[in-house]
Structure 1
């Protein structure tokens, strides 16, 4: 197997840059470049990196042994000065060493998977952790990376194996009297697992929203302060504001964090009748995106104005420009003075947090389809058992299908078709 290497930290100037090596020659190459005995495993040592008599840098060297490293192989890390020139020189020298090659995207993590150090769900959790932008995303990714899904499956799998074994026992002894009717136990096992599988499936939507984020659309007539509100919430001038109606013609998106959740705010075109073809297209997009959004904040200029969209239970209706005019009994907001902004952010956070309360361990579309397949198999198995037609072989096969689905979930079998997509999202040093 090749020994691979890559820069594991971001490119560009930094205090420290880490170059990682993994494979059978990782330790030997470090020995060759330092010209000194290797330090003990997991013990940092300061070494001069020398090539053809020239000192390239003085770096901290850290070694990990096979079976006790991230990849499961011999691993070496060079913690060098974060100079662009130093990193380039070290990578150039490593490229000249026999048996070494630059790692492909995600190859370190892929080797960890192949060597049994991570399962596929943990790999996906690691990818999500690298991409995490908010606290909720970080927490969810850490749960996945810690192996919680594998632990859950480790509890389900023995029950499925037990059910399959009981069914197969009746097949093996079909011509003999089986002393105990195993059907009640099998039915109990399968029904209990179905309850757990369906509970996990019920949380998929919430988990996906944490991972992918929510959309909140700001909707209203022209000149009610939608763009000013977006800018105030974003803390920058993301949208052009003007006294002229129809200034916003396309949907403007701003990504931010609310209550630890990823949220994309949408500033939409003012809703009104117009003969302007371009503005009409913007209004059409505003209506469509507003309907598709997870939540809508409707801004009115007066409490008596009609609400321009069909409201959903979590939608908020506010009266804008509280700095210019007061309306007794109405909930008002002002982007200029900040009145009502804190309360609005709090309300949005509370409403969106309620939607994530039931999130489970299944966070990707792949997870959902695999568990749905397992549910379908167990439902078929129960139908066959309850039919009383004695088709035990068919019921046993459906239980084995469910077992294979769980194995696919954590990457034990049949996942080659998804590996390329997963690892393509990783940077080269990971």
Structure 2
């Protein structure tokens, strides 16, 4: 049976072997400031021969002061031709991003200058162009970042909205790491106490109630882990974007609404029913939150057009997987129905959704209570003025004219509120899970903690060795989460999403 120390030693050995493989590779370099013409370009170098880059390209007799910018002419080490004049910065390891000796050349951002610097570095022995994410990979293997921070950094590079940026920055700064490290520390203490009880109970006097205290601590941790998992997938929705679908009968203004929100003619609009056949997606930034909005075919049961039937089928499939539904209603049709039946708006919604094949529920107060989060858009308000329509006050009902754009701000405000509910507000104190990999490892940990407590519930017949094994497996699950236990396959998946030079 592996002890707590043995488990940690194995994890250390595994990471040590990965690090040794890394150290046997070349010194790497890459453009870190992005492709294309720019005012200033940054070329980064890291690895055991970094000092040679500074000496060979600048003719300096001694290395500059660490983290101090030095203006120098930069020349090609073979042709001795001056390429440019720029800033040189020296970051000796381990006090660098990668933990290795590193440097930067900040030069003018012309393509010829950048190519000249890269060619000069490539002419040095043991130097090679970095692969995507290789700088960050070395930072991880050298203990400068754990995997959750690495993933936060990748998300920060890919963030397109303010809320995404905030969540990614908090994660890159260790918001998730601190939470998981707290649980790991508690697990280590609990496992050490159980193993000490196994090893020394028969030979030495141990503090009374050790196992009972461990069980109490694990119960508390399990509640925290379960609460962390039961977050409505807020972090994942924010990271990947909230999927929203526009649904309704033909010619209620679905495509007009899509065009209005994205401010371009993304979808064809005509007066002919059934114009939209396929699903059209656009990605929007609504109040700092990412929204992936889909326009769909109008829903009706009386069409015999094979293509339109397929479009309707796709619309309903999109609905099943949507996080948010925008249900559109034609005001003229509603008013005609109102004059005929004189029933409530809720009654109309119930009948309308039944007619188009979208399930809807009502609560005890006869209020609209959908199976998904819904926004109801009553379109074409520019055509009619009806007192019953003016008095509509159900939550998440927006009166809109896609033609005059009246009511657009109300819709945007309602959308933002829905997105805030779905995605939450990123915070340092309550970080959210934002990757499926995290969720899978936490679920495994949760199961092992539950098995530990189930075994402990047997009391006198409980097997302490089995209990210790469940704690050990939980700790290993956390190790895979933060990267103290990992494999090259996992690393390849994570780092291949990075750009070259990061």
Q: TM-score normalised by the shorter chain: which range applies?
A: over 0.9
Which blocks of at least 5 consecutive residues in structure 2 are unaligned?
A: 1-22, 338-347, 361-369, 390-397
Q: What is aligned with 1:393?
A: 465
**Pick aligned residue for 2:379 from 320, 323, 329:** 320
Distance 2:373 2:202 in 1: 62
Change (3 A) 1:60 1:392: same
What does residue 366 of structure 1 align with? 437
After alignment, is 295-304 or 139-148 more displaced? 295-304
Q: How does 1:77-226 map to 2 (within 5 A)?
A: 77-176=104-203, 178=206, 180-203=208-231, 205-226=233-254
Distance 1:84 1:11 in 2: 8
**Aligned partners of 1:361 and 1:320: how far apart in 2?**
36
C-alpha distance in 2, partners of 1:13/1:370?
A: 43
The partner residue of 1:333 within 397, 400, 417 is 400
Change (3 A) 1:59 1:204: farther
How far does residue 260 in structure 1 lie from its aligned partner after superposition? 1.6
Aligned equivalents of 1:55 and 1:288: distance in 2? 62
Can you list the C-alpha shifts for 1:89-113, whole angstroms capped at 9, x where unaligned?
2212211111210111110000000
Gaps of 5+ in 1: none
TM-score norm. by structure 1 comes to 0.95
Aligned residue in 2 for 1:348? 415
- Matches for 1:402-413 after TM superposition, within 5 Å: 402-413=474-485
Mean Cα deviation higher: 104-113 or 51-60: 51-60
Shift of 1:179: 5.5
2-structure distance, mates of 1:191, 1:115? 35
Distance in structure 1 (CA, Å) of the matches to 2:299 and 2:126: 65
| Corresponding residue of 2:38 | 14
Give the alignment's Cα RMSD to 1 decimal.
1.8
Distance 2:191 2:64 in 1: 52
Q: Write out per-residue CA displacement over residues 238-282 of structure 1, whole angstroms, 9 at most, x where no aligned residue.
A: 111112222111111110011221101111111222121112111
Aligned to 2:102: 75
Counterpart among 278, 286, 300 of residue 307 in structure 2:
278
Range 27-36 or range 74-83, more displaced = 27-36
> Given that residues 234 and 432 in structure 2 are in contact (C-alpha distance below 8 angstroms), is that contact kept between their aligned partners in structure 1?
no
Give the C-alpha shift of residue 208 in structure 1. 0.6
User: Which TM-score applies when normalising by structure 2?
Assistant: 0.82
Secondary structure at 1:315 match in 2: strand
Is 2:74 the counterpart of 1:49?
yes
| Correspondent of 2:60 among 36, 53, 58 | 36
Following TM superposition, by how much is the alpha carbon of 1:231 offset from its aligned partner in structure 2, in angstroms? 0.7
Query: Once the 2 structures are TM-superposed, how far is the Cα of residue 87 of structure 1 from its aligned partner?
Result: 1.0
**Contact 1:229-1:334 within 8 A present in 2 as well:** no
The residue aligned with 2:3 is none
Measured against aligned partners, the alpha-carbon deviations of 1:4-57 in whole angstroms (never above 9, x if no partner) come to 001112111111111110012222212211113432111112111112232211
Q: Could you tell me whether the CA contact under 8 Å between 1:259 and 1:353 is conserved in 2?
A: no
Structure 1 segments (4+ residues) deviating >4 Å: 176-179
1:182 Cα shift? 2.0
